[in-house]
Amino acid sequence: MKKILLATVALGALAAAPAMAADLRTPVYKAPPPPPPVYFSWTGCYIGGNVGGLWVHREFTDRLVGDPFLGQTFNRDTSTVIGGVQGGCNYQFAGGWVIGIQGDYDWSGNSNDGNNIFFNNINGNFTTKNLASVTGRIGYAWDRFLLYVKGGGAWERDNFFFNFPNGAVASLSSNTRSGWTVGVGGEYAFTNWLTAFIEYDHYGFGSSSDNFVCGVANCVGVLGPAFPLDRKESKDVVKVGLNFLWGGVGKGPVVGRY
């Protein structure tokens, strides 16, 4: 009986030995998984400035009843520099998609004199004073680079003067019109608070019928004290600028699918 008991104890010890040995082994250290990649976030607001070039195409059509040039049209193209400010807010979602709204206001020195450009040796001066827009934007971001398109409403203010051979001056000063604009651009974030962009915009202002006021002297002798014209205008702008960011832009842990 004793032999049987001793044999049982020995077998139990042999069975427990591997488990005890396993408990005595040094545990293997496993490093924690790496954190998910953090990308630049475009969510937030900004304000900045811009400079660029402005190209203007204008078409004038004579509406003066009794004038031998009634219904005839002439074109006048001008170009100059432009500069101003912009501001807006963006929201980034679904990885890299970015939507936003932006307002722009730019000043221009777009003044051009034309000699013998119109009927009967009339010359003129054309000036774009300022250009503004409010647009929606949508784009896609690859980390710190954002490619976007935009579109919305636009406003312009122009000055026009026509000088007649008899010394009369027909003017249309501080004329403000509304229209539309579309554009495309790219923006890059150098830091969490500073970005730079380049952008192309096209502006359309359609046609309008304007009566250029001649003042005391008649513009065309006995035909009347006003010079009626139809005016159609479009503008193209290429500009570069900087934006200063706040409100969380660049700081959010955006896990993107880039």
pLDDT digits over 164-217, tens only?
666 666 666 667 889 999 999 999 999 999 999 999 999 999 888 777 777 655
In a domain, 69, yes or no: yes
Is the distance from CB of 83 to CB of 52 less than 8 angstroms?
A: yes
Task: Provide the residue type at 203 as one letter.
Answer: Y
Considering the domain boundaries, does residue 37 fall inside one?
no
- Asked if residue 209 is part of any domain, the answer here is yes
Residue of 50, 108, 114 lying closest to 80 (CA atoms) = 108
DSSP 41-54: ---EEEEEEEEEEE
Q: What is the DSSP letter of 96?
A: T
Tens digits of residue pLDDT in 86-132: 999 999 998 899 999 999 999 987 566 555 555 556 677 778 889 99
Cα–Cα dist 218/69, whole Å: 17
Tell which wins on pLDDT, 157 or 32. Answer: 157
Bridge partners (DSSP) of residue 156 are 131, 177
Determine, yes or no, domain membership for 94: yes
11 assigned to some structural domain: no
Nearest Cα neighbor of 159 from 138, 176, 139, 135 is 176
Q: Is residue 219 domain-resident?
A: yes
Question: Under DSSP, is residue 66 helix (H, G, I), strand (E, B) or coil?
Answer: coil
pLDDT for the residue numbered 186: 98
**The domain containing residue 149 runs over which residues?**
44-246
Which residue type does 51 have?
V
pLDDT, tens digit, for every residue of 75-93? Answer: 778 888 999 999 999 999 9
Per the structure, the count of domains in the chain is 1
Q: Dump pLDDT digits (tens) for 129-167.
A: 899 999 999 999 999 999 999 999 999 998 877 776 666
Distance from C-alpha of 26 to C-alpha of 205, rounded to nearest angstrom: 79
Report CA Rg, the chain.
36
Using the predicted structure, report yes or no on whether residue 11 has a pLDDT greater than 80. Answer: no
Has residue 74 been placed in a domain? yes
Give the rounded distance of the alpha carbon of 104 from its chain centre.
8
| pLDDT of res. 204 | 95
Which CATH number fits the domain that encloses residue 139?
2.40.160.20
Q: Is residue 167 part of a domain?
A: yes
Q: Is 144 exposed, middle or buried (0-12, 13-18, 19+ CB in 10 A)?
A: middle
